[in-house]
Amino acid sequence: MRSLALLTFATALACASLVAQDLPETNPFHGDSAAVLAGMGQFRQRCADCHGMDARGVRAPDLTQVWSSGRTDRGLFNTVRNGVSNTEMPAFTAPRTSDRDVWQILAYLRTLASPAPTDLPTGDVGNGALVFENNCSGCHRVNAKGGLLGPELSRIGSGRSREVLLSRIRTGIDEPRPGFQPVTITPESGPPIRGVKKNEDLFSVQIMDTRERIQGYRKDQVRSVVDIRRSMMPIFGPERLSDSDLTDLVRYLGTLRGFDPSVEQRPPVVF
């Protein structure tokens, strides 16, 4: 039995190695107008709900930034094929999604890609990390540290441009992400309870309150359940965050990519 397990393990490693070797470094459909058109149709049907029709992100990352952030065609192929753990990004597995399908989607996205910035990023990363800790970590997590009331930001640097980050910090966010919908529940007695909605059906609602406690309520036992249209993300105006600290914060956020571009992203071995 042990010999069979070792043989299965060795076979899986060999297959994974073969797949990695067979996968081209660059997209074989790059610049192919027919492939780009086919990829556009597939992207709009399968990806736009999360990434937006323009690929600039809705509740998922801005895909126009991925190449300029250091990703490669092969690395992106592996991301689409295998998904991203602990996120909403699913694995687009065969046979439902062929290699050709994935390459065509990427060929289309490459036509939307933003050019790599010509100016070197400015700002002090060390001070930016301190600004984040003092102002943002109460709600946001980075590398398993921080709060849970806001989205996890360990990959924010590879999914949002500097301009988008500046805008969202200065002006707040109009559309809350699913799983982070602000809500106010007014019980039959006592003060209103604020939090973010985690689950809801016709009869009940589950929230995470501002003390990060998961609480469930029956709708017929509270006075009201009111959704808040705007995200809980506060506005950090100049009176609250100086231009210098904002520059440092955005510089720090830009380093949060969830991967090392210099290391090839290989698919996992599946047994």
Q: Which of 11-15, 22-26, 255-259 has the lowest mean pLDDT?
A: 11-15
Q: Is the dihedral of CA 84, 88, 89, 92 positive or negative?
A: positive
- Place 118 in a pLDDT band, splitting at 50, 70 and 90: low
pLDDT number for residue 101: 95
With a cut of 60, say whether residue 206 has pLDDT above it: yes
Q: How far is CA 23 from the centre of its chain?
A: 25
Tokens for 182, please give them. 């602000």
pLDDT the model gives residue 166: 92
Is pLDDT above 80 for 221? Answer: yes
Phi-psi domain of 173 (left: phi exceeds 0; alpha: psi -120 through 50; beta: other): beta
Instruction: Report pLDDT digits (tens) over 156-190.
Output: 887 777 888 999 899 988 778 778 899 999 999 99
All structural domains of the chain, each given as residue ranges with its CATH number in brackets, are 125-175+234-254 (1.10.760.10), 181-227 (2.30.30.100)
Collapsed DSSP state (helix, strand, coil) of residue 226: strand
**H or E stretch including 241?**
none
Residue by residue, what is the 3-state secondary structure of 143-159?
A: CCEECCCCCCCCCHHHH
- Does the global pTM surpass 0.75? no
Q: Does position 264 have pLDDT exceeding 70, yes or no?
A: no
Distance between CA 23 and CA 26 in Å, rounded?
9
